[in-house]
Structure 1
Amino acid sequence: MAVVDPVFRIAPTTQNYDWGKIGNDSKVAQFASGAEISGFTLKESAPYAELWMGTHPKSPSGVLGSDQTLPEYLAAHPQLMGDHIPKRFDTANGNLPFLFKVLAIGKALSIQTHPDKKTAEELHAAQPTVYTDPNHKPEMALALTSFKALCGFRPLPQIASYLKSVPEFRSLIPSVVVEQFLGIFPSATVPEQKGALRALFAALMTAEVPKIKEELAKLITRYQSGGATETEKDVKDLVLTLNEQFPGDIGVFCSFVLNYVSMEPGEAIFLGAGEPHAYVSGDIMECMANSDNVIRAGLTPKQKDIPNLVSGLTYIAAPPTNHMVKPTKFSQSTLSYDPPIPDFTVLEVKVRKGEVESHKAIHGPSIAIVVEGTGSVEWQNGEKSLQLSTGNVVFLGAEVAVEFKGVSEGNFTVYRAFVE
């Protein structure tokens, strides 16, 4: 087997979705400018939504200095995956188990969920042009800037309080469903609570479009005239923002059933299969299983699939803290964000000029991106190294110990995703 360097630069790809931040305001555009992507020229009027780092067939990364894509290169050099990962995950054709991204959100993403593995396989078989792969897509979002999102169902008493105080919301739900939902407290079993929440959400998402537009117009008029009640004050600005971006869309009413969270850099949330969510604004690192499957139901001009979304949700109602991922210490200057799935873990490395951070060998492959400053990564006891600057992306093979060194004034910050 040919000897290859286990650490090398790769070229990510960009996705210019409509919801992305515009031009150099986008972290995606900033990092892409430093990534040496062939043919990339920043356009100040274009939206830059996502930077992809990985092997997904929709948009695989390239290997700098080679005409091969990353999956082609990994297929030719399987030793870079290590011995452990192919035993647990499908690594055929150089497939990594995870997909690493940067997202720059200028406008809210769709109300969405992601299928579990079994459902993903069924959806892919039935609608391969819509659900383009058979994989699940649990995901973690880690804030690079101030970040806002809708994630998971609110605790049931909160939803009940909105039903009581927001007549426009309540009028979209049949009275029998409203009565069933408000009547579940306090003695209902968990299955009964989930059943009532499912009935409420299904009724909301299948409300007739003319009625949605009529009630939303009333709600917006009331909010703009200062008529928000005390209960509504925490969602008023969100409702106005979402309606400005997606006028008359049913997704605006999801403000009353989904948790609204504000996060600062270093905070992270995890969303497993069947958890409804929508990212609203900000720049994030995102890591997920290697999939692009999205089931949408609102805040989007794209195809909606409300039946599959409603049928695939967990209907777990809990505070947003239920989704938070608390970092732990990986090494001296590295934090580990480790969600409750085997597909990926993300490390945050932060060193200053002259500081050195050592990472022991990891039993699986990694992808790392520099998001701040300049420095280097060294391996083979310092015999080999790569100089790195903001936007540079590197692949690190399994079983290689590395050191990150800061060079610039201020922080040298790297995010490293791996599977082990």
Structure 2
Amino acid sequence: MEQLQCHVKQYAWGKYGEDSEVARLFADGHSTFQIDNKTPYAELWMGTHPDGPAQLKKCSTRLSTYLAKHPSPLTNNNSAKNIHLPFIMKVMSIRTTLSLQVHPTKEQARKLHESDPINYPDRNHKPELAYALTRFELLCGFRPAREILKNLQTFPSFRLLFGGDTYAKPLEDCISEMKNLDSVNQDSPEYQKSRKYLEDCFRFMMVPDRTDVHDLIAQLLSELDNGLRGAVEEVTVGVIRKMSKDFPNDIGIFSPLFLNHMILEPGQCCYYAAEELHAYLSGECVECVGCSNNTIRAAMTPKYIDRDALCSVLNYKMTEQKDYLVDERRVNGCVDEYAPDCKDFQLHRIRVKTNDTEKDMKMPTLDCPSILVIVSGKGTIEESTTDDQLIGQYEVKRGDIFYIPPKHNIRFTECSEALEGYRTFSDEMGPDHDNRLVTSVQSTVPTINEKMLKLDADMEEAPTAVV
């Protein structure tokens, strides 16, 4: 095991100072870090990606460089300067809505990178999983067909946004002709045709420099004031009103009418692959993503919006919320697994009580590398080889982050305070980022003077990370 120093991202949508779990957790694990209550702390990155590379605490060597010098069955490439894990694990603290966005598939990412390496610096895809640490809200995937139909029929403003009789009506007619809107056959010709009509509506909505957006938003807010609801629940009305204040005159204010508004309680988990439109709204989570930083933005951001790429990448599937949820599976006495249909990452939640027996304190031995973060408690970890040869013992506490090599046995020998941690792993090979075009400045010094950071409150991201 190697203890890691990691990166915090100070994006403007993050929670400020002590309100941010990211800041508190990072401070608990990095003794020289001081929380500034005027600074937003949005994401704690744990992985090898060049935009936030983890370092070995004992020597400040990048984890990716260490992996290249210590090859394993999944990292056996002696010619590479860096070997990357296929995932990034994050903790996120969200104060206000992130941009409405989608991530490309591997093939789409490769083409986007070749045509525009500045805005798409990676050739890799970016599937995502979010495990709720607190009540966590997001928009994810197009609503079921019946709900989109109901909202088109309820909100005249939404129907006009989607193209009125020219584009919205064919979508309405197609959905209305489906036999059973509560159990739509997604392979049926009618459903496939409805996806094409939805794409036509969405492309019309995304026409640049539309002059009617201000008036349509004002009309939507008036319709809500007058009690119109359609398929929109009251809690979602509050999201729309908040968006109208945070992003005035932004077309993304309409997004809760056609996207699922999901509310996860602590312990719930959701997953969505590439091609799914989404936006995080509020709360704190553990996130697992593919080792990529490619994002195609649609709205609610001052950053680059690529409408053509966005409309081409989306899958336009109209899906129930339950289809995005990931069930937990008990692995042993202290480990639950969240395993989406994704090769890039799996997530283990580790919970050890002070009175657990020895058999309940052992983590599964993995054939692949992994990263572990402790989010609460204190204890002692024993590390050994698969033939039970002791390697070492480590006192661990909240905020500690570790790289665990393949085929190493890890168990807790003592737990002085009930402990909780999260471990991400994958059997896949990570992407090659050695020739990646650097698009942002990353500090590689263990500490920096935060007063030197200049955060633009109007920007979605700040270019500098805290190490």
Normalised TM-score (structure 2)? 0.83
Measure the CA separation in 2 of the matches of 1:91 and 1:245.
Answer: 45
* Counterparts in 2 of 1:272 and 1:92: CA distance versus 1, 3 Å: farther
Measure the CA separation in 1 of the matches of 2:76 and 2:282.
Answer: 37
The equivalent position to 2:166 in structure 1, one of 176, 185, 201, is 176
Q: Structure 2 unaligned segments of length 5 or more: list them.
A: 179-188, 428-467
Measure the CA separation in 2 of the matches of 1:241 and 1:155.
Answer: 24
Structure 1 position 155 matched with structure 2 position 144: yes
Q: Which residue of 2 aligns with 1:267?
A: 268
> Root-mean-square deviation (CA), in Å?
1.9
The one-letter amino acid paired with 2:332 is S
Q: Which residue of 2 aligns with 1:392?
A: 400
The one-letter amino acid paired with 2:169 is E
* Counterparts in 2 of 1:91 and 1:401: CA distance versus 1, 3 Å: farther
Q: Which residue of 2 aligns with 1:3?
A: none
Q: Which residue of 1 aligns with 2:301?
A: 300
Q: Which residue of 2 aligns with 1:43?
A: 36
Contact kept, 8 Å, 2:128 with 2:273, in 1: the verdict is yes
The one-letter amino acid paired with 2:44 is L
| Shift of residue 405, structure 1, vs aligned partner | 4.8
The equivalent position to 1:16 in structure 2, one of 10, 25, 28, is 10
Q: Which residue of 2 aligns with 1:347?
A: 348
Secondary structure of the 2:177 match is coil
Q: Structure 1 unaligned segments of length 5 or more: list them.
A: 1-6
* Counterparts in 2 of 1:404 and 1:228: CA distance versus 1, 3 Å: farther
Measure the CA separation in 2 of the matches of 1:398 and 1:419.
Answer: 10
The one-letter amino acid paired with 1:290 is C
| Shift of residue 354, structure 1, vs aligned partner | 3.9
* Counterparts in 2 of 1:328 and 1:92: CA distance versus 1, 3 Å: farther
Measure the CA separation in 1 of the matches of 2:422 and 2:136.
Answer: 17
Q: Which residue of 2 aligns with 1:203?
A: 204
Measure the CA separation in 2 of the matches of 1:404 and 1:210.
Answer: 62
Instruction: Please show how residues 47-62 of structure 1 align to structure 2 within 5 Å.
Output: 47-62=40-55
Q: Which residue of 2 aligns with 1:28?
A: 22
Q: Which residue of 1 aligns with 2:69?
A: 76
Secondary structure of the 1:407 match is strand
Contact kept, 8 Å, 1:352 with 1:406, in 2: the verdict is no
Contact kept, 8 Å, 1:75 with 1:93, in 2: the verdict is yes
* Counterparts in 2 of 1:231 and 1:319: CA distance versus 1, 3 Å: closer
Measure the CA separation in 1 of the matches of 2:13 and 2:69.
Answer: 37
Contact kept, 8 Å, 2:88 with 2:291, in 1: the verdict is yes
Q: Which residue of 2 aligns with 1:186?
A: 177
Contact kept, 8 Å, 2:381 with 2:414, in 1: the verdict is no
Secondary structure of the 1:353 match is coil
| Shift of residue 230, structure 1, vs aligned partner | 5.7
Contact kept, 8 Å, 1:354 with 1:406, in 2: the verdict is no
* Counterparts in 2 of 1:390 and 1:232: CA distance versus 1, 3 Å: same
Measure the CA separation in 2 of the matches of 1:222 and 1:388.
Answer: 54
Q: Which residue of 2 aligns with 1:228?
A: 228
Residues 297-336 of structure 1 deviation map (CA, whole Å, 9 limit, x = unaligned): 0111111112111111111111111111111112112100
The one-letter amino acid paired with 2:140 is C
The equivalent position to 1:377 in structure 2, one of 377, 381, 390, is 381
Measure the CA separation in 2 of the matches of 1:126 and 1:14.
Answer: 30
* Counterparts in 2 of 1:208 and 1:214: CA distance versus 1, 3 Å: farther
The one-letter amino acid paired with 1:353 is T
Measure the CA separation in 2 of the matches of 1:20 and 1:67.
Answer: 27
Sequence identity percentage: 32
Measure the CA separation in 2 of the matches of 1:32 and 1:41.
Answer: 9
Q: Which residue of 1 aligns with 2:372?
A: 368
Structure 1 position 109 matched with structure 2 position 116: no
Residues 133-170 of structure 1 deviation map (CA, whole Å, 9 limit, x = unaligned): 11000110110100000001100110011111111111
The one-letter amino acid paired with 1:366 is S
| Shift of residue 85, structure 1, vs aligned partner | 5.8
The one-letter amino acid paired with 1:220 is L
Most deviating of 178-187 and 361-370: 178-187
Secondary structure of the 1:309 match is helix
Q: Which residue of 1 aligns with 2:246?
A: 245
Contact kept, 8 Å, 2:348 with 2:424, in 1: the verdict is yes
Contact kept, 8 Å, 1:152 with 1:275, in 2: the verdict is yes
Residues 56-104 of structure 1 deviation map (CA, whole Å, 9 limit, x = unaligned): 01110111010311111111212xxx314659xx986121111111111
Secondary structure of the 2:211 match is helix
Residues 228-249 of structure 1 deviation map (CA, whole Å, 9 limit, x = unaligned): 3464444311110111111111
Instruction: Please show how residues 77-92 of structure 1 align to structure 2 within 5 Å.
Output: 77-78=70-71, 82-84=72-74, 86=76
* Counterparts in 2 of 1:176 and 1:284: CA distance versus 1, 3 Å: same
Contact kept, 8 Å, 2:75 with 2:83, in 1: the verdict is no
Normalised TM-score (structure 1)? 0.92
| Shift of residue 253, structure 1, vs aligned partner | 0.6
Secondary structure of the 1:74 match is helix
Q: Which residue of 1 aligns with 2:464?
A: none
Q: Which residue of 1 aligns with 2:323?
A: 322
> How many residues in Structure 1 have an aligned counterpart in Structure 2?
406
| Shift of residue 404, structure 1, vs aligned partner | 2.9
